[in-house]
Amino acid sequence: FDIFANLWRYLAQDTGVPAILHVAWLYLPKCLSYALSPALLFACSYALGLLYKNNELIAILGSGISLNGLLAPLLLLGVVLSLASYWFEEGVVIDSLRRKNELYRSSVKLELPLSRTNVTVTSADGRIIYQADFYDDKRQSLNGVLILRRDAEGRFQERVDAERASWNGQYWVLHGSRRYSWDGELLREARIAQMDEKSLSEPPATFRKSTRRVEEMGAAQARLFVTQLRRAGLPFREALTEYYRKFFMALNPLIVILIASGVGGRFRKNVLLLSLLAALLLSVVYYVGQMITLILAKNALIPPLAGAALSFLVFLAGGLVILRSART
């Protein structure tokens, strides 16, 4: 599907077949990750529905094995596959997806814009705040610059307004600047045509528009990325939500097995078909609910952790209730 979705770009750039197949090959681990939960859903629903349909479950329960005892290996399998899914995502999928995206962009000659408007950055020690109307990545320059400097206790020291700033490889050089400084008694003003301040050493990469995606990072790298966004004063809720989502998405195999185990055998007619449909319907509701809570979290309507965990916790509790009331 990924090939057909991007076919027009491949044709427009006359991309060769080997490059297209290489992109598809690198996308294969992500496809396997996507396919695991639906495959488990249908496998468990079909197996349990078939047992109920053929009345084989009567013999199993009559032999002294409880329904919970019968389903325990399935739930244990869900836990094991959830852990394996997290390891597979961290160890294989993330790297292959990052390489796939890089190869795709180079194959179709897709350049990502790095310049930004309305940029605010805070230095590592929190004492210097940069604000610029526009950052030009090609020229590595800032336009409409405002710089605030504070002392160790957070008190105002000076403010510098500049028409523009250029990066000389080590620090920012301010052009057409006006400095306001506080000497303890008076606020002094000075006009400086060109100001060389070696302390203004925040690298241009900090001002760039972020093109990094949390789904292309491991958990540790994603946590560091969120910390950097917070320090730079940039929006971080979306990245933090995606960071939490990594952990709860890995638990999807457990949820779908729980759903399939709970709805299997709840119907007296057309058991196999209705069990499959009910499990599929509940899974769709689960994924849609997860999508909605993630959107709410990314738009700051609910906390990021709640956005990632709410759907999982609701269906975990609901699945356990359904399982306890399953027909035996």
Domain ranges of the chain: 2-108+230-324, 116-206
Residue 199 has what pLDDT? Answer: 84
Residue 220 has what pLDDT? Answer: 86
Tell me whether residue 244 is exposed, middle or buried, using C-beta atoms within 10 angstroms of its C-beta: 0 to 12, 13 to 18, 19 or more: buried
Please give the biggest Cα pair distance in the chain.
93
pTM over 0.75: no
Residue 328 has what pLDDT? Answer: 56
Residue 81 has what pLDDT? Answer: 92
SS (H, E, C) 209-236: CCCCCHHHCCHHHHHHHHHHHHHCCCCC
CB 207 within 8 A of CB 121: yes
Angle separating helix axes 252-263 and 67-88, nearest 10 degrees: 160
Pairing state between β 156-167 and 141-150? antiparallel
Residue 34 has what pLDDT? Answer: 86
Residue 293 has what pLDDT? Answer: 92
Backbone angles phi, psi at 253, to 5 degrees: -55, -40
Task: Tell me how far apart the alpha carbons of residues 215 and 38 are, in angstroms, rounded to a whole number.
Answer: 20
The ranges of the chain with pLDDT < 70 are 1, 210-211, 232-233, 264-272, 325-328
The residue type found at 128 is I
Residue 295 has what pLDDT? Answer: 92
Residue 84 has what pLDDT? Answer: 93
CB 283 within 8 A of CB 41: yes
E-assigned strands of 88-171?
116-122, 128-136, 141-150, 156-167
* Of 146, 171, 170, 167, nearest in space to 158 by CA: 146
DSSP state of 194: E
Give Cα 191 distance to the centre of its chain: 46
Residue 271 has what pLDDT? Answer: 62
Tell me whether residue 41 is exposed, middle or buried, using C-beta atoms within 10 angstroms of its C-beta: 0 to 12, 13 to 18, 19 or more: buried
Residue 268 has what pLDDT? Answer: 62
